[in-house]
A and B are shown apart, each in its own frame.
Chain A
Amino acid sequence: MENPDELDLRLREALEPRPETVERIVRGALSPRRPARRFPLVPALPVLVALAVAAGLLVLAPHPRRQAAVSIENVGDLMVVRHQEGGRWLVRNGGLGESPAPSRSLIVIYRNGDKP
């Protein structure tokens, strides 16, 4: 393996700045007032604003609510079936035996495209 010092020397030679560059760096660093650096994200600002607005619209826009094709609701010992087109059926427990504590549940079936 090459001597580490020689390799470092090669590295330094390749990356060595020009004297005028060094002079500029020193002058700039020592000057009492340095020019303000321009904000690096300025070119991206319009695009970032547009993206933020699009994201906001996407979140805030009202989503169309899908209408249920059929809903089956259970209230105590009564079952209510509602159809999208207006039909409604009530199904009651036959009253056999002791009825459990009243509970409530709902099943909603949506249409998916043309398929019910």
Chain B
Amino acid sequence: MEAAVRELAPQLFRYSLGRTRDAGLAEEVAQDALAALVQRWRRHGPPECPAAFAFAVARRRAGRLNFQRRLLKPLHALLDGHSPLPGPEEIATQRTALGRTLTAMRQLPGRDREALLLVGAGELGPTEGARVLGISVSALKMRLHRARKRLLQILEEKQDGKP
């Protein structure tokens, strides 16, 4: 079990970081998903596919966190007096490879981004990825193809200095 957790931790973190765009939240999501896996393993034995189980939990948790963040964002801005403009830390992050990738990922349609994050970043197989998303393997492959093509296009445009 520990080996599976250790193997899945970076995969889940990469997926969660792509979903939440926040390292702190990504760590929380990955840890929650793995804790759910550990609990399930201890109580009822290993699930049929531990990776699909953990990614399904991470997907739900990341979705909930993103929703809560969107809901509370105006409130935090109001209560904390934060400016809606990006701060120096955020601007510095945007200039890194991570920042550029996250910005490019944001421009992908949600479904395509999700597929790419599960398979590309999270290293799930097409069968497991399709299972987590509740779609067929061929539909997943189609989304992946579209997402990769568009992401590459966006990254190349950015490299050429186009807006």
Contact = CB atoms under 8 A, between A and B. Distances in A.
Dominant secondary structure of chain A at its interface with chain B:
helix
Interface stretch (A8-16, A83-91, A99-107): A8-16
A70 to B, nearest CB: 49
Given A11-B101, A43-B76, A44-B72, A29 B152 contact: no
A71 B76 CA distance: 54
Nearest to A47: B75
B162 interface: no
B37 interface: yes
B72 A43 contact: yes
B35 interface: yes
B148 A4 contact: yes
Nearest to A34: B35
Given A21-B27, A44-B72, A14 B97 contact: yes
B9 A29 contact: yes
B120 to A, nearest CB: 4
The B interface is mostly helix, strand or loop, or mixed, namely helix
B144 to A, nearest CB: 8
Nearest to B149: A1
A12 B14 contact: yes
Contact of B151 (A7, A30, A43): A7
A28 to B, nearest CB: 4
Given A16-B14, A40-B68, A22 B75 contact: no
A29 B31 contact: yes
A52 B17 CA distance: 35
B2 interface: yes
B30 interface: yes
A34 B36 CA distance: 11
B137 interface: no
A22 B38 contact: no
| 7 A-B pairs with the lowest CB-CB distances in the bound complex, closest first | A29-B34, A14-B101, A15-B14, A8-B120, A17-B13, A28-B31, A25-B9
Interface of A: 1-2, 4, 7-8, 10-17, 21-22, 24-26, 28-30, 34, 37, 40-41, 43-44, 47
